[in-house]
């Protein structure tokens, strides 16, 4: 009897063990290359580690939203464009009055909460719109969010006619200063992990990704849940936009271009299955760190920036192949 | 043995455009009763089940369940009043474990926070174990994902889902069609257990041996109509087959249609 209970509650090794070993492996490779070519350590440099994580915090926050969408067997290509418009909207309401070229001369020196809420609201609204289009028209998420990629980028070009927006009130600088982005990233990660593993929200997200028909037959309001997941992802894009705008002290219509691909790459590397139903926030965080180490490592070794993208592409293919292999061996078992 | 009427249909009819899939079906099942629905492919069995489980809405006719007229807009409506169905295409989420599948769409929560309610996994696990015990189903590790299980185990999970929610009527659409011999036996044993517990069951099956062994009453469908209601103890394979095919087969006493 005791054995039976033990059997029932026994959990296998943490599922991210494999991808964590990849992270360690990548770090070791760059460490060795660092000693060989530069004569110094790569990874045991607190400053460098801090910068790697800081730089990846924004992509990481996006990737956490994308993780939940992909678990639901969706995809979102519009993250970078939504960051573009959300950053501009927030920036346009965060300007000081001594700026002669303010976007809204009548709305300057506002309390910082207003630009923040405006940015988050725009991003969340566009995310929700993604979900609504997918749920109501039932067109593939790839197409719906591809359209949003174009639409949101168009919105940001139109919003300030392509001009960049800067000169923010002091309080707005907080979100991108020091280690704040890292703390926000961690907070978002912990919260999302709890939502996915402990609440009905998470259960339904996995269920829809695993078998949408079954979820529907079980009485889950699939359409409404999709809108919720895409809206929450939008909210996370909004948070990323605020941090980016605050850090860069400026917003431009081109901000966030192609970031969605980095976010999707991190999610896929982190072991989330593009077929849906499988994935974890912890894996995505490791995926983000792997991408960060590779990007930083190439710069450290002085290898051209173009090679980074080539290597990233190869890694994405490798990650998806590994996922398919896992799927196949699982079905056989 | 047969108690109060639990489900009745009067003149239940379903047309798909010009196709009359179901015509004027009068059906009843009493509490504690196990009824089989048999018939050739396209005879209207599954159409009938889709009407009484809310998957589709009938063109005409009425459904009475548990003393009231019912209009099921969707399967959830039917489930809410106590009709649990094991569908032919199992409707399980492969990547979730056993308790998660059993409680899909009606998770036990600590307190209600809308879509963000925290789930009571312990309670769901305990209730799942209880439901499995009641049907004498053995699944080695409930935390295994469904995708890793055999067809028989998956079918058992689908069935235990219906039993966990102490339903008033269970409907099984071809529960053993895709199973091996041993797994079929297991499912048949579950059905016998349900019979002992007095839970009424509608069983759709092609397997006449199974039907004769398991149920009290056999309803035969042919070309969208109910053409016979037989007492399982007083009939045999020949009579059923002649009703299914609509031919008086000239009865070969030794014929083994079974």
Q: What is the pLDDT of residue A242?
A: 97
| Cβ-based neighbour number of residue A226 at 10 Å | 26
Find the CB nearest A11 among B95, B129, B143: B143
Q: What is the pLDDT of residue A223?
A: 96
B217-222 and B201-204 beta bridge pairing: unpaired
Name B19's bridge partners: B16
Q: Residue B31: inside a domain, yes or no?
A: yes
Chain-centroid distance, C-alpha B209: 18
Q: What is the pLDDT of residue B69?
A: 92
% helix, strand, coil for chain B, step of 5: 30, 30, 40
Per-residue pLDDT for A236 more than 50?
yes
Query: What mean pLDDT do residues B104-124 have?
Result: 91
Q: What is the pLDDT of residue A333?
A: 40
Q: Residue B82: inside a domain, yes or no?
A: yes
| Shortest alpha-carbon distance between residue A324 and chain B (Å) | 15
DSSP letter for B70, please. Answer: E
What sign does the dihedral B61-B63-B68-B70 (CA atoms) show?
A: negative
* Chain B residues with CB-CB distance to A327 below 8 A: none
Per-residue pLDDT for B255 more than 80?
no
Q: What is the pLDDT of residue A9?
A: 47
Check B79 against A10: CB less than 8 A apart: no
Q: Residue B133: inside a domain, yes or no?
A: no
Per-residue pLDDT for B2 more than 80?
no
| Cβ-based neighbour number of residue A50 at 10 Å | 13
Check B115 against A199: CB less than 8 A apart: yes
Per-residue pLDDT for B171 more than 90?
yes
Find the CB nearest B105 among A220, A228, A331: A220
Helix (H, G, I), strand (E, B) or coil at A197: helix
Q: Residue A134: inside a domain, yes or no?
A: yes
Would you state the structure tokens that stand for residue A249, as one six-digit string? 């002290």
| Shortest alpha-carbon distance between residue B47 and chain A (Å) | 17
Burial of B50 from C-beta contacts in 10 A (0-12 / 13-18 / 19+)? buried
Query: What mean pLDDT do residues A276-289 have?
Result: 95
Measured between CA atoms, the residue of chain A closest to residue B120 is A198
Find the CB nearest B105 among A198, A211, A219: A219
Check A199 against B105: CB less than 8 A apart: no
Helix (H, G, I), strand (E, B) or coil at A257: coil
pLDDT tens-digit profile of A124-153?
Answer: 999 999 999 999 999 999 999 999 999 999
Q: What is the pLDDT of residue A12?
A: 56
Q: What is the pLDDT of residue B160?
A: 84
Q: What is the pLDDT of residue B166?
A: 66
Q: What is the pLDDT of residue B258?
A: 42
Closest CA to B184 of B159, B163, B167: B159
Query: Please, what is the angle between helix A305-332 and helix A259-269, to 10°?
Result: 40
| Shortest alpha-carbon distance between residue A10 and chain B (Å) | 8
Q: Find out whether B59 and B15 touch, Cβ atoms under 8 Å.
A: yes
- Mean pLDDT (chain B) is 86
pLDDT tens-digit profile of B189-225?
Answer: 889 988 998 899 999 998 888 999 999 999 999 999 9
- Candidates A219, A220, A330, partner chain B, best to mutate (most B CBs within 10 A): A219
Residue A329 binned pLDDT confidence (cut-offs 50, 70, 90): low
Measured between CA atoms, the residue of chain A closest to residue B142 is A8
Find the CB nearest B94 among A9, A211, A333: A211
* Chain A residues with CB-CB distance to B113 below 8 A: 199
Residue with tokens 């939504």: A82
Q: Find out whether A48 and A314 touch, Cβ atoms under 8 Å.
A: no
Per-residue pLDDT for A2 more than 50?
no
Pairwise pLDDT comparison (A228 vs A4), residue with the higher score: A228
Residue with tokens 């965080």: A285
The CATH number of the domain holding residue A257 is: 1.10.3470
The CATH number of the domain holding residue B24 is: 3.40.50.300
| Shortest alpha-carbon distance between residue A45 and chain B (Å) | 40
Check B96 against A331: CB less than 8 A apart: no
DSSP symbols for A131-173: HHHHHHH---HHHHHHHHHHHHHHHHHHHTTT--EE-B-GGGG
Find the CB nearest A210 among B74, B95, B105: B95
Name B204's bridge partners: B37, B173
Q: What is the pLDDT of residue A64?
A: 98
Check A220 against B104: CB less than 8 A apart: yes
Would you state the structure tokens that stand for residue B213, as one six-digit string? 């062994």
Q: Residue B142: inside a domain, yes or no?
A: no
Would you state the structure tokens that stand for residue B247, as one six-digit string? 């031919």
Closest CA to B222 of B40, B62, B81, B12: B40
- In whole angstroms, what is the distance from residue A66 CA to residue A189 CA? 12
CA angle A3, A5, A6 (to 5 degrees): 60
Q: Residue B40: inside a domain, yes or no?
A: yes
Q: Residue A2: inside a domain, yes or no?
A: no
Our count of domains for chain A comes to: 1
Per-residue pLDDT for A115 more than 70?
yes
- Mean pLDDT (chain A) is 90
Per-residue pLDDT for A13 more than 70?
no
Closest CA to B29 of B201, B156, B195, B182: B201
Q: What is the pLDDT of residue A5?
A: 46
Q: Residue A124: inside a domain, yes or no?
A: yes
Residue A165 binned pLDDT confidence (cut-offs 50, 70, 90): very high
Would you state the structure tokens that stand for residue B184, as one six-digit string? 């079929």
* Chain A residues with CB-CB distance to B147 below 8 A: 330-331
* Chain B residues with CB-CB distance to A232 below 8 A: none
- Report chain A residues touching chain B, CB-CB < 8 A: 7-11, 195, 198-201, 203-204, 206-207, 209-211, 213-215, 217-220, 225, 228, 276-278, 330-331, 333
Query: What mean pLDDT do residues A236-265 have?
Result: 95
Residue B256 binned pLDDT confidence (cut-offs 50, 70, 90): very low
Q: CA of A6: how far to CAs of B132, B136, B144, in Å?
A: 18, 20, 14
Q: Residue A14: inside a domain, yes or no?
A: no
Find the CB nearest B104 among A201, A215, A277: A215
Q: Which of A112-116, A117-121, B115-119, B231-235 has the lowest mean pLDDT?
A: B231-235
- In whole angstroms, what is the distance from residue A83 CA to residue A148 CA? 12
Our count of domains for chain B comes to: 1
Above pLDDT 90, what percent of chain A?
69
Check A211 against B100: CB less than 8 A apart: no
- Candidates A199, A220, A223, partner chain B, best to mutate (most B CBs within 10 A): A199
Q: CA of A18: how far to CAs of A25, A27, A271, in Å?
A: 11, 14, 9
* Chain B residues with CB-CB distance to A214 below 8 A: 90-93, 104
Per-residue pLDDT for B153 more than 50?
yes
- Candidates A203, A274, A327, partner chain B, best to mutate (most B CBs within 10 A): A203
Q: Residue A256: inside a domain, yes or no?
A: yes
Q: Which domain holds residue B37?
A: 5-91+168-245
- Candidates B115, B142, B144, partner chain A, best to mutate (most A CBs within 10 A): B115
Q: Find out whether B54 and B75 touch, Cβ atoms under 8 Å.
A: yes
Q: What is the pLDDT of residue A332?
A: 44
Measured between CA atoms, the residue of chain B closest to residue A11 is B143
B19-30 and B5-16 beta bridge pairing: antiparallel
pLDDT tens-digit profile of A294-326?
Answer: 989 888 888 877 888 888 888 888 888 888 887
Q: Find out whether A106 and A95 touch, Cβ atoms under 8 Å.
A: no
* Chain B residues with CB-CB distance to A220 below 8 A: 104-105
Query: Please, what is the angle between helix A46-71 and helix A259-269, to 10°?
Result: 80
Above pLDDT 90, what percent of chain B?
36
- In whole angstroms, what is the distance from residue B88 CA to residue B94 CA? 16
* Chain A residues with CB-CB distance to B106 below 8 A: 218-219
Per-residue pLDDT for B183 more than 90?
no
Q: What is the pLDDT of residue A233?
A: 98
Per-residue pLDDT for A235 more than 80?
yes
* Chain B residues with CB-CB distance to A230 below 8 A: none
Per-residue pLDDT for B253 more than 70?
no
B34-39 and B225-231 beta bridge pairing: unpaired
Q: Residue A241: inside a domain, yes or no?
A: yes
Q: Identify how many contiguous H helices and E strands chain A contains and give both numbers.
A: 13, 2
Which stretch of DSSP H or E encloses residue A91?
helix A79-92
Q: Which domain holds residue A162?
A: 44-326
Q: Residue A243: inside a domain, yes or no?
A: yes
pLDDT tens-digit profile of B43-69?
Answer: 889 899 989 988 889 999 999 998 889
Residues in chain A: 333
Per-residue pLDDT for B251 more than 70?
no
pLDDT tens-digit profile of B67-88?
Answer: 889 999 888 888 889 898 888 7
Q: What is the pLDDT of residue A315?
A: 85
* Chain A residues with CB-CB distance to B158 below 8 A: none
Q: Find out whether A226 and A40 touch, Cβ atoms under 8 Å.
A: no
ipTM confidence score: 0.83
pLDDT tens-digit profile of A37-68?
Answer: 888 888 888 988 999 999 899 999 999 999 99
* Chain B residues with CB-CB distance to A9 below 8 A: 143
Q: Residue A36: inside a domain, yes or no?
A: no
| Shortest alpha-carbon distance between residue B5 and chain A (Å) | 27
- In whole angstroms, what is the distance from residue A261 CA to residue B211 CA? 57
């Amino acid at each position: 009897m005791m054995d039976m209970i033990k059997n029932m509650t026994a959990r296998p090794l943490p599922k991210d063990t494999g991808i964590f070993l990849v992270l360690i492996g990548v770090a070791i490779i760059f460490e060795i290359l660092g000693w060989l070519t530069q004569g110094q350590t790569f990874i045991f440099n607190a400053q460098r580690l801090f910068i790697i994580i800081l730089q990846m915090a924004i992509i990481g926050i996006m990737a956490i939203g994308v993780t939940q969408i992909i678990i639901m067997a969706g995809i979102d290509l519009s993250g970078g464009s939504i960051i573009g418009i959300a950053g501009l909207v927030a920036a346009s309401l965060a300007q000081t009055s001594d700026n002669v070229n303010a976007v809204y001369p009548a709305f300057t020196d506002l309390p910082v909460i207003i630009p923040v809420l405006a940015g988050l609201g725009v991003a969340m609204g566009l995310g929700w719109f993604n979900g609504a289009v997918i749920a109501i028209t039932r067109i593939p998420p790839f197409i719906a969010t591809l359209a949003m990629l174009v639409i949101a980028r168009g919105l940001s070009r139109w919003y300030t006619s392509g001009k960049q927006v800067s000169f923010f009130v002091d309080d707005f600088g907080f979100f991108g200063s020091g280690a704040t982005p890292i703390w926000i990233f961690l907070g978002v990660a912990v919260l999302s992990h709890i939502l996915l593993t402990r609440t009905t929200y998470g259960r339904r997200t996995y269920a829809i990704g695993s078998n949408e028909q079954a979820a529907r037959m079980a009485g889950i309001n699939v359409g409404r849940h999709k809108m919720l997941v895409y809206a929450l992802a939008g909210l996370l894009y909004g948070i990323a936009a605020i941090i980016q705008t605050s850090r860069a002290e400026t917003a431009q219509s081109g901000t966030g271009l192609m970031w969605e691909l980095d976010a999707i790459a991190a999610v896929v590397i982190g072991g989330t299955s593009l077929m849906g139903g499988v994935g974890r926030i912890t894996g995505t965080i490791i995926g983000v760190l792997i991408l960060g180490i590779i990007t930083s490592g190439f710069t450290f070794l002085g290898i051209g920036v173009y090679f980074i993208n080539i290597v990233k592409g190869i890694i994405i293919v490798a990650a998806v192949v590994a996922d398919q292999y896992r799927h196949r061996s699982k079905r056989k078992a | 043995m047969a108690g109060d009427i639990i489900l009745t249909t009067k003149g239940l009819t379903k047309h798909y455009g010009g196709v009359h899939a179901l015509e004027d079906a009068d059906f009843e099942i009493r509490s504690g009763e196990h009824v089989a629905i048999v018939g050739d492919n396209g005879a209207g069995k599954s159409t009938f089940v889709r009407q009484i489980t809310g998957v589709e809405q009938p063109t005409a006719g009425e459904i009475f369940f548990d003393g009231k007229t019912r209009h099921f807009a969707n399967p959830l409506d039917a489930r809410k009043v106590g009709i649990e169905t094991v569908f032919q295409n199992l409707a399980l989420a492969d990547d979730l474990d056993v308790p998660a599948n059993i409680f899909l769409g009606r998770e036990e929560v600590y307190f209600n926070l809308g879509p963000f309610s925290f789930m009571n996994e312990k309670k769901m696990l305990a209730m799942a174990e209880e439901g499995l015990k009641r049907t004498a189903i053995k699944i080695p590790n409930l935390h295994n994902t469904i995708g890793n299980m055999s067809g028989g185990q998956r079918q058992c999970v689908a069935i235990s889902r219906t039993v966990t929610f102490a339903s008033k009527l269970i409907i099984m659409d071809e529960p053993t069609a895709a199973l091996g011999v041993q797994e079929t036996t297991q499912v048949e044993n579950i059905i016998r257990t349900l019979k002992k517990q007095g839970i009424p069951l509608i069983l759709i099956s092609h397997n006449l041996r199974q039907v004769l062994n398991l149920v009290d009453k056999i309803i035969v469908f042919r070309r969208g109509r109910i053409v016979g209601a037989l007492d399982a103890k007083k009939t045999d394979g020949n009579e059923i087959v002649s009703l299914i095919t609509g031919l008086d087969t000239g009865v070969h006493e030794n014929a083994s249609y079974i």
